[in-house]
Amino acid sequence: MPDQFRTAIADILPSAEAVHERLAVLSNRDRLNVAEFFSGVLPDVDVLISTPGAEALSHDLGALRGIPSVKATSLAGHWTLVGSALHHAGDIRAARGPVQAAVISLELLAGQAEVAATVLATRRDWEVVAVAAAVERTDAAGHVHLSLLGVPVLTPVMLAGTPRGLVFERRIPHSA
């Protein structure tokens, strides 16, 4: 399944802007391919936390897994979690120990939203077991910020910035 998504991304390389624009309007097919990929590689979690723009992907993954999704959003410069699952007792249930969460992102760049979602989850005594990013940019600091927090990144597509634009990452093994 990720091969179809990789092909859709390959068609628009090397433009970083085109990748960003494609991710903003993912087709249902591409979104479902990515959700199915994540459903296969993510560990068991009790809740999904979507970053801005990844709400539909998080919803699709939650439907595949039968788990709720909440959203990390920035309101007046402060990050917060929102979603009906936060207000209905019993919607988010830990199968064992603390609530296990995964952060869902379309494009991991600097990692601000992903780190904010991880911090917000920690404040609720949830454990973030992974960040699932449709595309990870290895020339940006997001992966480093998350690894400093001990959170692994799973992705079907790793892209590296070069003087000629974006290319598929070849320097490090595929993360998932």
Domains of the chain, residue spans:
2-162
Whether the ω angle into residue 2 lies within 30 degrees of 0, i.e. cis, is: no
* CATH class of the domain comprising 2-162: alpha beta
pLDDT in tens, 45-71: 999 999 999 999 999 999 999 999 999
**Distance between CA atoms of 164 and 176, rounded to whole angstroms?**
26
**pLDDT of the residue at 175:** 44
**pLDDT of the residue at 48:** 98
Only one residue has tokens 């199915």, namely: 36
Higher pLDDT, 75 or 88: 75
pTM equals 0.93
Neighbour count for residue 52 (Cβ, 10 Å): 13
CA 106 to chain centre: 6
CA 91 to chain centre: 21
Cα→Cα distances 51→3, 12, 89, 173, Å = 24, 23, 23, 25
pLDDT band at 86 (very low <50, low <70, confident <90, very high): confident
